[in-house]
Amino acid sequence: MTRPAQPTARYDADALDSFCRAVFLAAGADEATANAATRAMMHGSRLGVDSHGVRLLGHYVATMTQGRVNPRPTPRILSEFGAVATLDADNAHGALGAYRAQEKAVELAGRFGIGAVAIRNNSHFGPAGAFALAAAETGCIGMAFCNSDSFMRLHDGAERFHGTNPIAIAVPVKDGDPWLFDMATSAIPYNRVQLYRSLGIPLPEATASDPQGHNTTDPERAEMLAPLGGEFGFKGAGLAGFVEILSAVLTGMKLSFEILPMPGPDLSTPRGMGAFVMAIRPEAFLPQESFQDNMARYLAALRGSQAVPGRTVMAPGDREWAEAERRRTLGIPIDQTTVDSFNELAHAYGIPTPVPAASPP
């Protein structure tokens, strides 16, 4: 039986960051693209969201060199009306379009208390939480949404319809890490299905469906993901639809079932993806000190609430920030498949590969 790829070593975050930026630049990306794509991937790798971390480097380089993604784009604001704007990303790497849009949303929030930016002609942007967090780092409440190619059925549906359509929200916290919520609207991510196939173990109940749309726990028969909510999957499907409306309907971009599959085989045609970001300035509603005190009181009560025996109550983001601290000390674990990809990229572009900091525990 094929076993899942295991971490082979841990790498220093700065070394990974420098390597990724160097590869993007050598592959023809401009500095803004290299910085944005690396920043988003490193968000994933630092916080333990490895499916959206540096393992994507090889894929992103392929999309830039084969034509799907414009490696030297000129994003521009198409329209602006009060607190809202529309940005055309010029088929940029999705992270560049999303970061630029969030910067604009924060600027608008500084003037109006709230800012919202629709993004056109973007591509895969990686971890949605990275772009919500970008707003929180400026003192705003940040939100980010994006649809993606179809993986998830509708409630009682029997075919792929929505993508995993993430929702991310970040809230600044005085003297602490932001409250950070980043979720897919599917019951589980598709990489969980792939992992369970490798392990040869059953999937959790009501998380995936066979080709006829019936729930299955057999990962070999899993053709599509179930929406979040199990027997109440209309909730997850509805949330996915909300993301679809903001990301595709409101932007005029492709619906999930119209988007080319992320892995190809066509990596030369732009995917025409949309996204949507928002920023809210808390002090537009109440004094900043009051907001900070309210958040502190809320989080103290949440973390201090009674837990079931052997478990710990955590706020959104607590697990990720703890993992980020762990990785800051021990290094970021990288699997052999990604190491092999790094070696191929290093050879192709004449760049030294990052040196492992330690073996994983």
- Residue 113 located in a structural domain: yes
Rounded to an integer, the average pLDDT of 24-49 is 97
Amino acid 200: pLDDT: 83
Work out the pLDDT band at 113, boundaries 50, 70, 90: very high
Q: How many folded domains does the chain comprise?
A: 2
- Residue 52 located in a structural domain: yes
Q: Is the backbone peptide bond immediately before 265 cis, with ω within 30 degrees of 0?
A: yes
Amino acid 15: pLDDT: 97
The CATH number given to whatever domain includes residue 352 is 1.10.1530.10
**Percentage, residues of the chain above pLDDT 90:** 88
- CA-CA-CA-CA dihedral for 323, 327, 328, 333, to nearest 10: -150
3-class state of residue 113 by DSSP: coil
The CATH number given to whatever domain includes residue 321 is 3.30.1370.60
pLDDT tens, residue by residue, 265-315: 999 999 999 999 999 999 999 999 999 999 999 999 999 999 999 999 999
Regarding whether 277 and 140 lie in a shared domain, the answer is: yes
- The two counts, helices (H) then strands (E), for the chain are 10, 13
- Residue 193 located in a structural domain: no
Amino acid 51: pLDDT: 86
Regarding whether 318 and 342 lie in a shared domain, the answer is: no
Angle at 342 between CA 337 and CA 346, to 5 degrees: 150
Range in 100-104, 211-215, 348-352 the model is least confident about = 211-215
Regarding whether 314 and 355 lie in a shared domain, the answer is: no
Amino acid 6: pLDDT: 57
More confident site: 212 or 250: 250
Amino acid 212: pLDDT: 87
Distances (CA, A) of 116 to 46, 85, 104, 293, 352: 27, 7, 8, 26, 41
Amino acid 1: pLDDT: 31
Work out the pLDDT band at 176, boundaries 50, 70, 90: very high
Give me the count of residues in the chain.
361
Distance spanning both ends of the chain, measured CA to CA: 24
pLDDT tens, residue by residue, 128-153: 999 999 999 999 999 999 999 999 99
Q: Residue 193: pLDDT above 90?
A: no
Amino acid 359: pLDDT: 67
Rounded to an integer, the average pLDDT of 343-354 is 96
Work out the pLDDT band at 198, boundaries 50, 70, 90: low
Regarding whether 287 and 240 lie in a shared domain, the answer is: yes
- Residue 208 located in a structural domain: no
Provide the residue range defining the domain that includes 10. Answer: 1-66+331-361
Amino acid 360: pLDDT: 63
Amino acid 2: pLDDT: 39
Angle at 57 between CA 53 and CA 58, to 5 degrees: 135
Q: Residue 37: pLDDT above 90?
A: yes
Report whether 234 contacts 155 (CB < 8 A): yes
Regarding whether 298 and 356 lie in a shared domain, the answer is: no
Regarding whether 174 and 40 lie in a shared domain, the answer is: no
- Residue 335 located in a structural domain: yes
Amino acid 150: pLDDT: 95
- Residue 213 located in a structural domain: no
Exposure of 165 in the CB half-sphere (CA atoms within 13 A):
34
Rounded to an integer, the average pLDDT of 72-101 is 98
- Residue 218 located in a structural domain: no
What is the Cα 349 distance to its own chain's centre?
A: 27
Regarding whether 292 and 171 lie in a shared domain, the answer is: yes
Regarding whether 241 and 136 lie in a shared domain, the answer is: yes
Average per-residue pLDDT for the chain: 94
Regarding whether 62 and 141 lie in a shared domain, the answer is: no
Regarding whether 269 and 160 lie in a shared domain, the answer is: yes
What is the Cα 203 distance to its own chain's centre?
A: 23
Work out the pLDDT band at 4, boundaries 50, 70, 90: very low
Regarding whether 172 and 52 lie in a shared domain, the answer is: no
Regarding whether 178 and 123 lie in a shared domain, the answer is: yes
Q: Residue 191: pLDDT above 80?
A: no
- Residue 15 located in a structural domain: yes
Token output for 273: 């993806």
Amino acid 3: pLDDT: 44
